[in-house]
Structure 1
Amino acid sequence: MAEHNSYTVSINSHESNSELSVLFSGEGKPHPLHKMGPAVHDYYLIHTVHSGKGTFEMHNRTYTCETGDSFIIFPGELFSYTADAEQPWHYTWVAFNGRSAGMTMTQIGASPQNAVISGSSPRSIRHYYRRIRSCFHPSMQPALEDIAAAGWLRLLLRELGRAGNPHVMEKPATETDIQRQVNQAVRYLELQYTQTVSIEQLARTLGYHRTYLCKMFKQATGLSPMQYLFKIRMERAKQLLETAMTIDQVASSVGFNDALYFSKQFHKWSGSAPSVYRKERTK
Protein backbone atom coordinates (compact mmCIF):
# COMPACT_ATOMS: atom_id res chain seq x y z
CA MET A 1 0.00 0.00 0.00
CA ALA A 2 1.23 3.51 -0.82
CA GLU A 3 0.85 4.69 2.78
CA HIS A 4 3.11 1.89 4.03
CA ASN A 5 6.76 1.01 3.54
CA SER A 6 5.64 -2.61 3.78
CA TYR A 7 2.21 -4.19 4.17
CA THR A 8 0.90 -7.74 4.15
CA VAL A 9 -2.43 -9.25 5.15
CA SER A 10 -3.76 -12.82 5.25
CA ILE A 11 -7.51 -13.45 5.02
CA ASN A 12 -9.45 -16.35 6.51
CA SER A 13 -11.45 -17.74 3.57
CA HIS A 14 -13.61 -19.90 5.83
CA GLU A 15 -16.80 -18.28 7.08
CA SER A 16 -17.04 -19.52 10.65
CA ASN A 17 -19.68 -19.24 13.35
CA SER A 18 -17.46 -20.56 16.14
CA GLU A 19 -16.89 -19.18 19.62
CA LEU A 20 -13.71 -17.41 18.50
CA SER A 21 -12.70 -16.98 14.87
CA VAL A 22 -9.90 -15.04 13.18
CA LEU A 23 -11.04 -12.87 10.26
CA PHE A 24 -7.67 -11.65 9.03
CA SER A 25 -4.16 -10.86 10.26
CA GLY A 26 -1.38 -8.69 8.91
CA GLU A 27 1.82 -6.74 9.41
CA GLY A 28 2.75 -3.23 8.34
CA LYS A 29 5.25 -0.39 8.56
CA PRO A 30 3.24 2.77 7.84
CA HIS A 31 4.69 6.10 6.76
CA PRO A 32 5.13 8.91 9.33
CA LEU A 33 1.81 10.43 10.43
CA HIS A 34 -0.20 7.71 8.64
CA LYS A 35 -3.69 7.83 10.18
CA MET A 36 -6.68 5.53 10.35
CA GLY A 37 -10.09 6.84 11.42
CA PRO A 38 -12.10 8.21 13.01
CA ALA A 39 -13.98 5.02 12.16
CA VAL A 40 -15.97 2.13 13.64
CA HIS A 41 -15.46 -1.62 13.11
CA ASP A 42 -17.91 -4.45 13.74
CA TYR A 43 -15.18 -6.82 14.98
CA TYR A 44 -12.31 -6.85 17.47
CA LEU A 45 -8.94 -5.70 16.14
CA ILE A 46 -5.67 -5.92 18.08
CA HIS A 47 -2.46 -4.16 16.99
CA THR A 48 0.84 -4.97 18.70
CA VAL A 49 3.70 -2.49 18.30
CA HIS A 50 7.12 -4.06 17.60
CA SER A 51 9.10 -0.86 17.11
CA GLY A 52 8.52 2.88 16.80
CA LYS A 53 5.49 4.58 18.31
CA GLY A 54 2.19 6.31 17.66
CA THR A 55 -1.05 7.39 19.28
CA PHE A 56 -4.35 5.57 19.66
CA GLU A 57 -7.68 7.20 20.53
CA MET A 58 -10.86 5.46 21.66
CA HIS A 59 -13.61 5.99 24.21
CA ASN A 60 -12.47 9.59 24.88
CA ARG A 61 -8.95 8.49 25.79
CA THR A 62 -5.64 9.05 24.01
CA TYR A 63 -2.81 6.54 24.45
CA THR A 64 0.82 6.79 23.36
CA CYS A 65 1.86 3.29 22.27
CA GLU A 66 5.44 2.05 21.91
CA THR A 67 7.31 -1.24 21.58
CA GLY A 68 5.54 -4.02 23.50
CA ASP A 69 2.18 -2.21 23.66
CA SER A 70 -0.98 -3.67 22.15
CA PHE A 71 -3.99 -1.46 21.44
CA ILE A 72 -7.42 -2.98 21.02
CA ILE A 73 -10.27 -1.70 18.88
CA PHE A 74 -13.68 -2.85 20.13
CA PRO A 75 -16.68 -3.31 17.85
CA GLY A 76 -19.00 -0.32 17.76
CA GLU A 77 -16.42 2.01 19.35
CA LEU A 78 -15.22 5.10 17.47
CA PHE A 79 -11.42 5.01 17.17
CA SER A 80 -8.44 6.52 15.37
CA TYR A 81 -4.70 5.88 15.41
CA THR A 82 -1.71 7.76 13.99
CA ALA A 83 1.93 6.83 13.39
CA ASP A 84 4.58 9.05 14.97
CA ALA A 85 6.15 11.74 12.78
CA GLU A 86 9.74 10.78 13.64
CA GLN A 87 9.54 7.11 14.62
CA PRO A 88 6.50 5.59 12.88
CA TRP A 89 5.51 2.30 14.35
CA HIS A 90 5.89 -1.20 12.95
CA TYR A 91 3.00 -3.39 14.06
CA THR A 92 1.14 -6.61 13.49
CA TRP A 93 -2.60 -7.01 13.82
CA VAL A 94 -5.35 -9.59 14.07
CA ALA A 95 -9.09 -9.17 13.62
CA PHE A 96 -11.56 -11.62 15.11
CA ASN A 97 -15.10 -12.15 16.31
CA GLY A 98 -17.18 -14.94 17.83
CA ARG A 99 -19.70 -15.66 20.58
CA SER A 100 -17.03 -15.75 23.31
CA ALA A 101 -14.91 -12.85 22.03
CA GLY A 102 -16.31 -10.29 24.45
CA MET A 103 -15.98 -12.58 27.46
CA THR A 104 -12.43 -13.46 26.44
CA MET A 105 -11.43 -9.80 26.28
CA THR A 106 -12.84 -9.31 29.77
CA GLN A 107 -10.80 -12.28 30.98
CA ILE A 108 -7.55 -10.74 29.76
CA GLY A 109 -8.41 -7.43 31.41
CA ALA A 110 -9.23 -5.41 28.28
CA SER A 111 -12.23 -3.14 27.77
CA PRO A 112 -13.15 -0.01 25.79
CA GLN A 113 -12.16 1.98 28.88
CA ASN A 114 -8.84 0.11 29.21
CA ALA A 115 -7.86 -0.63 25.64
CA VAL A 116 -4.06 -0.84 25.79
CA ILE A 117 -2.00 -3.70 27.24
CA SER A 118 1.67 -2.98 27.90
CA GLY A 119 4.66 -5.13 28.74
CA SER A 120 4.26 -8.07 26.35
CA SER A 121 7.28 -9.76 24.78
CA PRO A 122 7.43 -8.64 21.12
CA ARG A 123 9.34 -11.77 20.13
CA SER A 124 6.84 -14.30 21.50
CA ILE A 125 3.90 -12.17 20.37
CA ARG A 126 5.24 -11.97 16.80
CA HIS A 127 5.56 -15.76 16.79
CA TYR A 128 1.84 -16.14 17.46
CA TYR A 129 0.96 -13.58 14.80
CA ARG A 130 3.12 -15.42 12.26
CA ARG A 131 1.46 -18.73 13.09
CA ILE A 132 -1.98 -17.18 12.69
CA ARG A 133 -1.08 -15.80 9.25
CA SER A 134 0.50 -19.09 8.18
CA CYS A 135 -2.89 -20.77 8.65
CA PHE A 136 -4.30 -18.77 5.74
CA HIS A 137 -1.88 -19.83 3.04
CA PRO A 138 -3.69 -21.63 0.19
CA SER A 139 -5.19 -24.76 1.72
CA MET A 140 -7.52 -27.56 0.67
CA GLN A 141 -8.98 -27.64 4.19
CA PRO A 142 -9.88 -24.04 5.17
CA ALA A 143 -12.22 -25.20 7.95
CA LEU A 144 -9.34 -26.98 9.69
CA GLU A 145 -7.07 -23.96 9.21
CA ASP A 146 -9.77 -21.82 10.81
CA ILE A 147 -9.62 -24.08 13.88
CA ALA A 148 -5.82 -23.80 13.99
CA ALA A 149 -5.89 -20.01 13.68
CA ALA A 150 -8.36 -19.77 16.56
CA GLY A 151 -5.97 -21.86 18.67
CA TRP A 152 -3.05 -19.55 17.96
CA LEU A 153 -5.27 -16.55 18.68
CA ARG A 154 -6.09 -17.99 22.10
CA LEU A 155 -2.37 -18.34 22.85
CA LEU A 156 -1.81 -14.75 21.75
CA LEU A 157 -4.60 -13.55 24.01
CA ARG A 158 -3.21 -15.58 26.91
CA GLU A 159 0.15 -13.84 26.43
CA LEU A 160 -1.55 -10.45 26.43
CA GLY A 161 -3.53 -11.39 29.52
CA ARG A 162 -0.33 -12.30 31.34
CA ALA A 163 1.27 -9.02 30.31
CA GLY A 164 -1.74 -7.08 31.52
CA ASN A 165 -1.73 -8.81 34.93
CA PRO A 166 1.97 -9.41 35.75
CA HIS A 167 1.66 -9.33 39.54
CA VAL A 168 -1.38 -11.56 40.06
CA MET A 169 0.63 -14.47 41.50
CA GLU A 170 2.70 -12.20 43.74
CA LYS A 171 -0.25 -11.11 45.91
CA PRO A 172 -1.08 -12.92 49.17
CA ALA A 173 -3.92 -15.37 48.68
CA THR A 174 -7.30 -13.84 49.41
CA GLU A 175 -10.57 -15.62 50.11
CA THR A 176 -11.43 -15.27 46.43
CA ASP A 177 -8.04 -16.72 45.40
CA ILE A 178 -8.56 -19.71 47.70
CA GLN A 179 -12.03 -20.33 46.32
CA ARG A 180 -10.61 -20.21 42.79
CA GLN A 181 -7.95 -22.75 43.77
CA VAL A 182 -10.56 -25.04 45.32
CA ASN A 183 -12.69 -24.68 42.20
CA GLN A 184 -9.71 -25.80 40.13
CA ALA A 185 -9.32 -28.89 42.28
CA VAL A 186 -13.05 -29.65 42.14
CA ARG A 187 -13.05 -29.25 38.38
CA TYR A 188 -10.09 -31.61 38.09
CA LEU A 189 -11.85 -34.27 40.16
CA GLU A 190 -15.10 -33.87 38.21
CA LEU A 191 -13.28 -34.48 34.95
CA GLN A 192 -10.82 -37.17 36.09
CA TYR A 193 -12.96 -39.31 38.41
CA THR A 194 -12.81 -42.22 35.96
CA GLN A 195 -9.01 -42.34 36.36
CA THR A 196 -6.72 -43.35 39.20
CA VAL A 197 -6.28 -40.15 41.23
CA SER A 198 -3.97 -39.50 44.19
CA ILE A 199 -3.49 -36.44 46.39
CA GLU A 200 0.11 -36.21 45.19
CA GLN A 201 -0.94 -36.25 41.56
CA LEU A 202 -3.69 -33.68 42.13
CA ALA A 203 -1.38 -31.33 44.02
CA ARG A 204 1.38 -31.68 41.43
CA THR A 205 -0.98 -31.07 38.52
CA LEU A 206 -2.43 -27.92 40.08
CA GLY A 207 0.91 -26.69 41.40
CA TYR A 208 0.06 -26.69 45.13
CA HIS A 209 1.73 -28.28 48.12
CA ARG A 210 -0.10 -31.44 49.21
CA THR A 211 -0.75 -30.24 52.77
CA TYR A 212 -1.92 -26.81 51.63
CA LEU A 213 -4.26 -28.32 49.05
CA CYS A 214 -5.89 -30.67 51.57
CA LYS A 215 -6.31 -27.92 54.17
CA MET A 216 -7.92 -25.33 51.90
CA PHE A 217 -10.07 -27.96 50.17
CA LYS A 218 -11.53 -29.24 53.44
CA GLN A 219 -12.10 -25.72 54.74
CA ALA A 220 -14.11 -24.89 51.62
CA THR A 221 -16.04 -28.14 51.10
CA GLY A 222 -16.05 -29.93 54.45
CA LEU A 223 -14.46 -32.95 52.76
CA SER A 224 -10.96 -34.03 51.90
CA PRO A 225 -10.16 -34.22 48.17
CA MET A 226 -10.37 -38.03 48.29
CA GLN A 227 -13.70 -37.94 50.12
CA TYR A 228 -14.99 -35.51 47.52
CA LEU A 229 -13.73 -37.77 44.72
CA PHE A 230 -15.51 -40.73 46.33
CA LYS A 231 -18.73 -38.70 46.51
CA ILE A 232 -18.48 -37.81 42.82
CA ARG A 233 -17.97 -41.46 41.90
CA MET A 234 -20.87 -42.69 43.98
CA GLU A 235 -23.27 -40.02 42.70
CA ARG A 236 -22.32 -40.91 39.13
CA ALA A 237 -22.71 -44.62 39.90
CA LYS A 238 -26.28 -43.97 41.08
CA GLN A 239 -27.08 -42.41 37.73
CA LEU A 240 -25.52 -45.26 35.75
CA LEU A 241 -27.30 -47.91 37.81
CA GLU A 242 -30.55 -46.57 36.40
CA THR A 243 -29.40 -47.57 32.90
CA ALA A 244 -28.97 -50.99 31.32
CA MET A 245 -25.23 -51.11 32.05
CA THR A 246 -23.87 -54.10 33.96
CA ILE A 247 -22.41 -53.67 37.45
CA ASP A 248 -18.94 -54.31 35.98
CA GLN A 249 -19.47 -51.57 33.41
CA VAL A 250 -20.73 -49.11 36.02
CA ALA A 251 -17.73 -49.85 38.24
CA SER A 252 -15.30 -49.29 35.40
CA SER A 253 -17.08 -46.09 34.37
CA VAL A 254 -16.58 -44.52 37.80
CA GLY A 255 -12.95 -45.44 38.30
CA PHE A 256 -13.10 -48.89 39.94
CA ASN A 257 -11.20 -51.74 38.28
CA ASP A 258 -12.65 -54.28 40.74
CA ALA A 259 -16.44 -54.61 40.57
CA LEU A 260 -16.59 -56.45 43.90
CA TYR A 261 -14.70 -53.69 45.66
CA PHE A 262 -16.96 -51.13 43.99
CA SER A 263 -20.04 -52.99 45.24
CA LYS A 264 -18.73 -52.99 48.81
CA GLN A 265 -17.95 -49.28 48.66
CA PHE A 266 -21.33 -48.44 47.13
CA HIS A 267 -23.11 -50.47 49.83
CA LYS A 268 -21.16 -48.67 52.53
CA TRP A 269 -22.05 -45.29 51.01
CA SER A 270 -25.70 -45.79 50.07
CA GLY A 271 -26.79 -48.54 52.43
CA SER A 272 -27.72 -50.82 49.53
CA ALA A 273 -25.81 -53.11 47.20
CA PRO A 274 -25.74 -51.86 43.58
CA SER A 275 -28.12 -54.62 42.44
CA VAL A 276 -30.57 -53.82 45.24
CA TYR A 277 -30.38 -50.09 44.56
CA ARG A 278 -31.11 -50.77 40.90
CA LYS A 279 -34.19 -52.86 41.67
CA GLU A 280 -35.53 -50.24 44.05
CA ARG A 281 -35.09 -47.49 41.48
CA THR A 282 -36.66 -49.41 38.61
CA LYS A 283 -39.80 -50.58 40.39
Structure 2
Amino acid sequence: MSTTPYFAVEQIKRTGHFNMDSDHFHESYEIYYLLSGERYYYINDRVYALQVGDLLFINKNHLHRTTSKGRSSHERILVNFDDLFIEPLLGRGVGELPLYHGESFLLRPDVHEQGRIEDLFHTMLREQKEARSGSTEYLLALLLQMLILMTRIREAKPEPVPPESSEKQRRVYRIIEYLNKEYMQKLTLPEIAEQFYISETYLCRIFKQTTGFTVIEYLNYIRIREAQTLLRETDDKITRIAEETGFDSIAHFGRVFKQIVKRSPLQYRKQNQM
Protein backbone atom coordinates (compact mmCIF):
# COMPACT_ATOMS: atom_id res chain seq x y z
CA MET A 1 0.00 0.00 0.00
CA SER A 2 1.35 3.43 -0.91
CA THR A 3 2.68 5.60 1.92
CA THR A 4 2.20 8.79 -0.13
CA PRO A 5 -1.17 10.58 0.24
CA TYR A 6 -3.03 10.61 -3.06
CA PHE A 7 -5.22 13.43 -4.39
CA ALA A 8 -5.94 14.33 -8.01
CA VAL A 9 -8.51 16.50 -9.74
CA GLU A 10 -8.97 16.71 -13.51
CA GLN A 11 -11.35 18.34 -15.97
CA ILE A 12 -11.80 16.65 -19.35
CA LYS A 13 -14.01 17.37 -22.36
CA ARG A 14 -14.64 14.55 -24.84
CA THR A 15 -16.43 14.65 -28.17
CA GLY A 16 -18.55 11.88 -29.66
CA HIS A 17 -18.82 8.31 -28.43
CA PHE A 18 -16.70 7.45 -25.38
CA ASN A 19 -16.85 4.58 -22.88
CA MET A 20 -14.61 4.46 -19.82
CA ASP A 21 -12.02 1.68 -20.12
CA SER A 22 -9.78 2.29 -17.11
CA ASP A 23 -9.92 0.41 -13.79
CA HIS A 24 -13.53 -0.13 -12.74
CA PHE A 25 -12.95 -0.26 -9.01
CA HIS A 26 -10.05 1.05 -7.00
CA GLU A 27 -8.87 1.72 -3.47
CA SER A 28 -9.43 5.46 -3.69
CA TYR A 29 -12.63 7.48 -3.35
CA GLU A 30 -14.05 9.28 -6.37
CA ILE A 31 -16.27 12.31 -6.96
CA TYR A 32 -17.66 12.71 -10.48
CA TYR A 33 -19.38 15.90 -11.68
CA LEU A 34 -21.00 16.29 -15.11
CA LEU A 35 -20.41 19.80 -16.49
CA SER A 36 -22.06 19.28 -19.89
CA GLY A 37 -23.63 16.58 -22.04
CA GLU A 38 -25.28 13.31 -21.00
CA ARG A 39 -23.88 10.02 -19.70
CA TYR A 40 -25.00 6.65 -18.43
CA TYR A 41 -23.37 5.66 -15.16
CA TYR A 42 -23.35 2.14 -13.74
CA ILE A 43 -22.97 1.98 -9.95
CA ASN A 44 -24.53 0.02 -7.08
CA ASP A 45 -25.77 -2.62 -9.56
CA ARG A 46 -27.99 -0.03 -11.28
CA VAL A 47 -27.70 2.33 -14.25
CA TYR A 48 -28.42 6.06 -13.97
CA ALA A 49 -28.97 8.59 -16.75
CA LEU A 50 -26.84 11.58 -15.75
CA GLN A 51 -27.75 15.15 -16.61
CA VAL A 52 -25.76 18.37 -16.33
CA GLY A 53 -24.98 19.20 -12.70
CA ASP A 54 -25.27 15.64 -11.39
CA LEU A 55 -22.73 14.74 -8.71
CA LEU A 56 -21.65 11.18 -7.87
CA PHE A 57 -19.75 9.93 -4.86
CA ILE A 58 -18.15 6.52 -5.49
CA ASN A 59 -16.81 4.76 -2.43
CA LYS A 60 -13.58 2.80 -2.65
CA ASN A 61 -13.76 -0.68 -4.20
CA HIS A 62 -17.23 -0.06 -5.66
CA LEU A 63 -17.67 -1.30 -9.22
CA HIS A 64 -18.56 1.57 -11.56
CA ARG A 65 -18.44 2.64 -15.19
CA THR A 66 -19.59 5.55 -17.32
CA THR A 67 -20.75 5.05 -20.91
CA SER A 68 -22.11 7.11 -23.79
CA LYS A 69 -25.70 8.33 -23.90
CA GLY A 70 -26.18 9.19 -27.55
CA ARG A 71 -23.21 10.59 -29.46
CA SER A 72 -23.04 14.05 -27.92
CA SER A 73 -19.87 15.48 -26.38
CA HIS A 74 -19.56 15.71 -22.62
CA GLU A 75 -17.37 17.43 -20.06
CA ARG A 76 -16.72 16.28 -16.50
CA ILE A 77 -14.61 16.94 -13.44
CA LEU A 78 -13.19 14.02 -11.49
CA VAL A 79 -11.61 13.98 -8.03
CA ASN A 80 -9.79 10.95 -6.59
CA PHE A 81 -8.30 10.72 -3.10
CA ASP A 82 -7.28 7.97 -0.69
CA ASP A 83 -7.51 7.27 3.03
CA LEU A 84 -4.01 8.58 3.64
CA PHE A 85 -4.89 11.98 2.17
CA ILE A 86 -7.90 12.43 4.46
CA GLU A 87 -6.17 10.95 7.52
CA PRO A 88 -5.73 14.43 9.10
CA LEU A 89 -9.55 14.68 9.23
CA LEU A 90 -9.91 11.56 11.40
CA GLY A 91 -10.88 12.20 14.99
CA ARG A 92 -12.13 15.70 14.21
CA GLY A 93 -15.86 15.03 14.26
CA VAL A 94 -16.21 14.21 10.56
CA GLY A 95 -17.74 10.76 11.04
CA GLU A 96 -21.00 11.81 9.37
CA LEU A 97 -19.33 12.51 6.04
CA PRO A 98 -20.40 10.16 3.20
CA LEU A 99 -17.15 8.25 2.82
CA TYR A 100 -17.45 6.85 6.35
CA HIS A 101 -20.66 4.95 5.60
CA GLY A 102 -19.32 2.76 2.80
CA GLU A 103 -21.93 4.01 0.34
CA SER A 104 -21.92 5.33 -3.21
CA PHE A 105 -24.70 7.66 -4.33
CA LEU A 106 -25.95 10.16 -6.90
CA LEU A 107 -26.96 13.71 -6.03
CA ARG A 108 -28.92 16.15 -8.21
CA PRO A 109 -28.03 19.62 -6.84
CA ASP A 110 -30.09 22.71 -7.66
CA VAL A 111 -28.64 25.60 -9.67
CA HIS A 112 -27.33 27.48 -6.61
CA GLU A 113 -25.71 24.33 -5.23
CA GLN A 114 -24.15 23.64 -8.63
CA GLY A 115 -22.54 27.09 -8.54
CA ARG A 116 -20.94 26.41 -5.15
CA ILE A 117 -19.78 22.95 -6.28
CA GLU A 118 -18.21 24.29 -9.47
CA ASP A 119 -16.45 27.09 -7.55
CA LEU A 120 -14.87 24.48 -5.26
CA PHE A 121 -13.82 22.28 -8.17
CA HIS A 122 -12.24 25.14 -10.08
CA THR A 123 -10.38 26.30 -6.97
CA MET A 124 -9.06 22.73 -6.58
CA LEU A 125 -7.94 22.66 -10.22
CA ARG A 126 -6.17 25.98 -9.89
CA GLU A 127 -4.50 25.02 -6.60
CA GLN A 128 -3.31 21.69 -7.98
CA LYS A 129 -1.84 23.40 -11.06
CA GLU A 130 -0.03 26.14 -9.12
CA ALA A 131 1.25 23.83 -6.34
CA ARG A 132 2.20 26.67 -3.99
CA SER A 133 3.25 26.36 -0.35
CA GLY A 134 0.57 24.79 1.83
CA SER A 135 -1.11 23.35 -1.27
CA THR A 136 -1.83 19.92 0.28
CA GLU A 137 -3.47 21.49 3.34
CA TYR A 138 -5.52 23.85 1.18
CA LEU A 139 -6.70 21.00 -1.07
CA LEU A 140 -7.68 19.01 2.01
CA ALA A 141 -9.68 22.00 3.29
CA LEU A 142 -11.43 22.36 -0.08
CA LEU A 143 -12.21 18.63 -0.13
CA LEU A 144 -13.67 18.84 3.36
CA GLN A 145 -15.91 21.71 2.22
CA MET A 146 -17.05 19.59 -0.76
CA LEU A 147 -17.85 16.57 1.41
CA ILE A 148 -19.79 18.70 3.91
CA LEU A 149 -21.74 20.34 1.07
CA MET A 150 -22.55 16.91 -0.40
CA THR A 151 -23.75 15.71 3.01
CA ARG A 152 -26.05 18.72 3.37
CA ILE A 153 -27.47 18.33 -0.14
CA ARG A 154 -28.18 14.68 0.58
CA GLU A 155 -29.84 15.45 3.91
CA ALA A 156 -32.04 18.12 2.29
CA LYS A 157 -33.14 15.71 -0.49
CA PRO A 158 -33.37 12.28 1.14
CA GLU A 159 -35.33 10.80 -1.78
CA PRO A 160 -32.72 9.09 -4.01
CA VAL A 161 -32.52 9.73 -7.75
CA PRO A 162 -34.20 6.69 -9.38
CA PRO A 163 -32.19 4.41 -11.70
CA GLU A 164 -33.14 3.61 -15.29
CA SER A 165 -35.85 0.96 -15.36
CA SER A 166 -36.88 -0.32 -18.79
CA GLU A 167 -37.84 -3.98 -19.19
CA LYS A 168 -34.38 -4.71 -20.65
CA GLN A 169 -32.64 -2.99 -17.75
CA ARG A 170 -34.77 -4.79 -15.15
CA ARG A 171 -33.80 -8.08 -16.77
CA VAL A 172 -30.11 -7.13 -16.56
CA TYR A 173 -30.55 -6.15 -12.90
CA ARG A 174 -31.89 -9.67 -12.21
CA ILE A 175 -28.85 -11.15 -14.00
CA ILE A 176 -26.53 -8.93 -11.91
CA GLU A 177 -28.22 -10.12 -8.71
CA TYR A 178 -27.72 -13.71 -9.84
CA LEU A 179 -24.02 -13.14 -10.58
CA ASN A 180 -23.46 -11.42 -7.24
CA LYS A 181 -25.05 -14.39 -5.48
CA GLU A 182 -23.49 -17.23 -7.53
CA TYR A 183 -20.03 -15.86 -8.44
CA MET A 184 -18.31 -18.68 -6.49
CA GLN A 185 -19.79 -21.28 -8.86
CA LYS A 186 -18.16 -22.31 -12.15
CA LEU A 187 -20.49 -20.19 -14.29
CA THR A 188 -20.49 -20.21 -18.10
CA LEU A 189 -22.30 -17.94 -20.56
CA PRO A 190 -24.56 -20.77 -21.87
CA GLU A 191 -25.55 -21.67 -18.28
CA ILE A 192 -26.34 -18.05 -17.37
CA ALA A 193 -28.37 -17.58 -20.56
CA GLU A 194 -30.29 -20.79 -19.88
CA GLN A 195 -31.02 -19.66 -16.33
CA PHE A 196 -32.86 -16.61 -17.74
CA TYR A 197 -34.42 -18.30 -20.81
CA ILE A 198 -32.58 -16.09 -23.31
CA SER A 199 -29.96 -16.73 -25.97
CA GLU A 200 -26.28 -16.32 -25.21
CA THR A 201 -26.03 -13.62 -27.90
CA TYR A 202 -28.93 -11.64 -26.44
CA LEU A 203 -27.51 -12.00 -22.90
CA CYS A 204 -24.15 -10.58 -23.96
CA ARG A 205 -25.71 -7.72 -25.93
CA ILE A 206 -28.14 -6.42 -23.30
CA PHE A 207 -25.62 -6.79 -20.47
CA LYS A 208 -22.96 -4.76 -22.31
CA GLN A 209 -25.51 -2.15 -23.46
CA THR A 210 -26.84 -1.68 -19.92
CA THR A 211 -23.73 -1.83 -17.74
CA GLY A 212 -20.81 -1.14 -20.10
CA PHE A 213 -19.24 -4.45 -18.97
CA THR A 214 -19.20 -7.82 -20.65
CA VAL A 215 -20.71 -10.59 -18.51
CA ILE A 216 -17.33 -12.26 -17.96
CA GLU A 217 -15.62 -8.93 -17.25
CA TYR A 218 -18.25 -8.15 -14.60
CA LEU A 219 -17.99 -11.63 -13.10
CA ASN A 220 -14.20 -11.36 -12.86
CA TYR A 221 -14.40 -7.97 -11.14
CA ILE A 222 -16.84 -9.34 -8.55
CA ARG A 223 -14.66 -12.40 -7.94
CA ILE A 224 -11.46 -10.37 -7.60
CA ARG A 225 -13.09 -7.87 -5.25
CA GLU A 226 -14.19 -10.76 -3.03
CA ALA A 227 -10.72 -12.30 -3.25
CA GLN A 228 -9.20 -9.01 -2.10
CA THR A 229 -11.40 -9.09 1.01
CA LEU A 230 -10.33 -12.67 1.79
CA LEU A 231 -6.65 -11.82 1.24
CA ARG A 232 -6.91 -8.86 3.63
CA GLU A 233 -9.07 -10.40 6.33
CA THR A 234 -8.17 -14.12 6.46
CA ASP A 235 -5.14 -16.38 6.48
CA ASP A 236 -6.68 -18.74 3.92
CA LYS A 237 -4.25 -20.16 1.38
CA ILE A 238 -4.32 -18.47 -2.02
CA THR A 239 -5.32 -21.75 -3.69
CA ARG A 240 -8.35 -21.94 -1.39
CA ILE A 241 -9.29 -18.30 -2.08
CA ALA A 242 -9.10 -18.96 -5.83
CA GLU A 243 -11.47 -21.90 -5.42
CA GLU A 244 -13.85 -20.02 -3.11
CA THR A 245 -14.20 -17.16 -5.61
CA GLY A 246 -15.07 -19.38 -8.57
CA PHE A 247 -11.80 -19.65 -10.49
CA ASP A 248 -11.08 -22.97 -12.18
CA SER A 249 -7.32 -22.86 -11.49
CA ILE A 250 -4.74 -20.98 -9.45
CA ALA A 251 -3.04 -19.88 -12.69
CA HIS A 252 -6.27 -18.35 -14.03
CA PHE A 253 -6.91 -16.64 -10.69
CA GLY A 254 -3.39 -15.19 -10.58
CA ARG A 255 -3.58 -13.94 -14.16
CA VAL A 256 -6.95 -12.20 -13.71
CA PHE A 257 -6.00 -10.80 -10.29
CA LYS A 258 -2.81 -9.22 -11.62
CA GLN A 259 -4.63 -7.83 -14.66
CA ILE A 260 -7.18 -6.05 -12.46
CA VAL A 261 -5.21 -5.19 -9.29
CA LYS A 262 -1.80 -4.68 -10.98
CA ARG A 263 -0.21 -6.87 -8.29
CA SER A 264 -0.06 -10.59 -7.59
CA PRO A 265 -2.34 -11.98 -4.86
CA LEU A 266 0.68 -12.55 -2.61
CA GLN A 267 1.95 -8.99 -3.11
CA TYR A 268 -1.54 -7.63 -2.38
CA ARG A 269 -1.78 -9.68 0.84
CA LYS A 270 1.62 -8.51 2.09
CA GLN A 271 0.72 -4.86 1.47
CA ASN A 272 -2.83 -4.93 2.84
CA GLN A 273 -3.35 -7.68 5.39
CA MET A 274 -4.80 -6.37 8.64
TM-score for the superposition, normalised by structure 2: 0.46
Higher strand proportion: 1
Larger Rg: 1
Q: Which has the higher contact order (CA 8 A, sep 6+)?
A: 2
Higher helix content, 1 or 2: 2
